[in-house]
Amino acid sequence: MVNEIFRGLKKTREKFINPLLDLFSSGKLDESGIEKAEQLLFSADLGFETTERIINRLRDGKGWKKDDDVLNILRGELLDAMEKVPALKPAEGNPRVIVVAGVNGVGKTSTIGKLAMRFQTEGKSVLLAACDTFRAAAIEQLELWAQKCGVPVVRQQMGSDPAAVAFDAVSSAKSKGIDIVIIDTAGRLHTKKNLMKELEKIFRVLSTRFDDIGLEGWLIIDANFGNNSIRQAEVFVESLPITGMIVSKLDSTSKGGVIIPIQNKLNLPVLYVGVGEGIDDLEDFDHRLFVSTLLSG
Ligand SMILES: Nc1nc2c(ncn2[C@@H]2O[C@H](COP(=O)(O)OP(=O)(O)O)[C@@H](O)[C@H]2O)c(=O)[nH]1
Ligand SMILES: [Mg+2]
């Protein structure tokens, strides 16, 4: 079976692992070869620490290395880096309430549609909350995804208080016995400070008004931003109780390696990856599968 993460990582593999293997199969690993390897690793956005460790290991062996040796070194270092990251502990309580955050355009609303579909196929009932009240189009876009999945949406007028919409949504989910509420949020307001205040308020209102829900914050990160996404993500993680991340658009970038420094720098797990624009284009993130796919040339 061809797994979808394979398709998602196609561009990253083409740009990074194939040239790397070409480099080593061509013969001697001299200093200029090592420099080229270093550039390739940097260009895949694996992050400074992991790149340096791999380069040091390649230097250690001195001279020529076979493809297999290089692959083993890469595999070992990449797995090591990923295994340091803690797994998600889903919050206890009912319903499970997932606040989805991230900058404008990263794929929050689409990912929510994909998650709604997935949770339903896992036998859970789902309700969506349209808390990006900054743009009318955002509410309509969420409604379209909800229709595709056949799940209810709680919404108010454009410009209404997102925390009030979130409160209504959780109240409605409780009265209907719904398992999971997914909250869509704005990625852009007049200022970044306003955005963080708005998101903080959603968490604050939900956690003070409902003491029995399982409240989580998931951050969506666009893989296309590469290493620049890390600073962006830190702003959210510093202000909000983020517990897990989803990396979107793995299919449209050669920077898929960025998942490694994203997890390490933020010390948070990547839960799923987006591999396309369709409703089924969301894959569980399994770090072993990720590494073996990345290195399968
Ligand atoms: N190729 C690709 N495009 C995606 C993926 N996820 C979202 N998109 C696209 O990214 C754009 C912005 O998505 P949207 O969900 O509106 O982002 P939001 O502003 O964060 O809510 C849309 O055109 C989506 O179709 C993905 O995994 N792969
Ligand atoms: Mg949106």
Query: Could you tell me if 187 and 106 are in contact, meaning their C-beta atoms sit under 8 angstroms apart?
Result: yes
CA distance linking residue 146 with residue 144, whole number of Å: 5
Residue 135's pLDDT is: 86
Supply the DSSP symbol for 34.
H
The rounded Å distance from CA 62 to ligand 1 centre is 45
Beta-carbon-side half-sphere exposure of residue 41 (alpha carbons within 13 Å): 25
CA distance linking residue 103 with residue 184, whole number of Å: 12
Instruction: Check whether 235 has a pLDDT greater than 50.
Output: yes
Query: Could you tell me if 198 and 189 are in contact, meaning their C-beta atoms sit under 8 angstroms apart?
Result: yes
Confidence of residue 17 (pLDDT cuts 50, 70, 90): confident
Choosing from 10, 250, 277 the residue with most ligand 1 atoms within 8 A of its CB, the one to mutate for a pocket test is 277
Task: Provide the token pair at 250.
Answer: 């793995």
Which helix (H) or strand (E) segment holds residue 90: the answer is none
Mean pLDDT to the nearest integer, 193-199: 94
Residue 62's pLDDT is: 56
Instruction: Check whether 197 has a pLDDT greater than 70.
Output: yes
Nearest Cα neighbor of 90 from 7, 214, 199, 267 is 214
Residue 271's pLDDT is: 97
Task: Provide the token pair at 151.
Answer: 């799940």
The rounded Å distance from CA 215 to ligand 2 centre is 20
Amino acid at 287: H
The rounded percent of the chain whose pLDDT value lies above 90 is 67
Using DSSP, state whether 214 is helix, strand or coil.
Answer: strand
Q: What are the boundaries of each domain within the chain?
A: 4-83, 96-285
Q: Backbone phi, then psi, for 98, in 5-degree steps?
A: -110, 115
The rounded Å distance from CA 242 to ligand 2 centre is 18
Residue 190's pLDDT is: 74
Average pLDDT, the chain: 90
- Topology of the domain covering 4-83: Four Helix Bundle (Hemerythrin (Met), subunit A) (1.20.120)
Supply the DSSP symbol for 17.
I
Instruction: Check whether 65 has a pLDDT greater than 60.
Output: no
Instruction: Check whether 2 has a pLDDT greater than 80.
Output: no
Mean pLDDT to the nearest integer, 100-109: 96
CATH superfamily for domain 96-285: P-loop containing nucleotide triphosphate hydrolases (3.40.50.300)
Residue 233's pLDDT is: 95
Task: Provide the token pair at 35.
Answer: 């420099």
Ligand 1 atom having least distance to the Cα of 273:
27
Q: Is 248 in the pocket of ligand 1 (CB under 6 A)?
A: yes
CA distance linking residue 218 with residue 280, whole number of Å: 19
Instruction: Check whether 247 has a pLDDT greater than 60.
Output: yes
133-136-139-140 Cα dihedral, nearest 10 degrees: 180
Termini Cα distance of the chain: 17
- The helix, strand and coil proportions of the chain, stated in percent and rounded to the nearest 5, come to 55, 15, 30
Beta-carbon-side half-sphere exposure of residue 93 (alpha carbons within 13 Å): 16
- The ligand with the least distance to the CA atom of 139 is 2
Q: Is 105 in the pocket of ligand 1 (CB under 6 A)?
A: yes
Q: Is 276 in the pocket of ligand 1 (CB under 6 A)?
A: yes
Pick the more confident residue, 28 or 63: 28
Residue 275's pLDDT is: 94
Q: Is 274 in the pocket of ligand 1 (CB under 6 A)?
A: yes
Residue 154's pLDDT is: 98
Q: Is 108 in the pocket of ligand 1 (CB under 6 A)?
A: yes
Fold match, 4-83 / 96-285: no
Nearest Cα neighbor of 270 from 1, 8, 20 is 8
Q: Is the pTM of this model over 0.85?
A: yes
Nearest residue by C-alpha to atom 22 in ligand 1: 107
Residue 1's pLDDT is: 41
The rounded Å distance from CA 110 to ligand 1 centre is 6
Supply the DSSP symbol for 3.
-
Cis amide prior to 95 (ω within 30 degrees):
yes
Pick the more confident residue, 67 or 131: 131
Encode pLDDT of 109-166 as tens digits.
999 999 999 999 999 999 999 999 998 899 999 999 999 999 999 999 999 999 999 9
User: Do β-strands 214-222 and 126-131 pair in parallel, antiparallel, or remain unpaired?
Assistant: unpaired
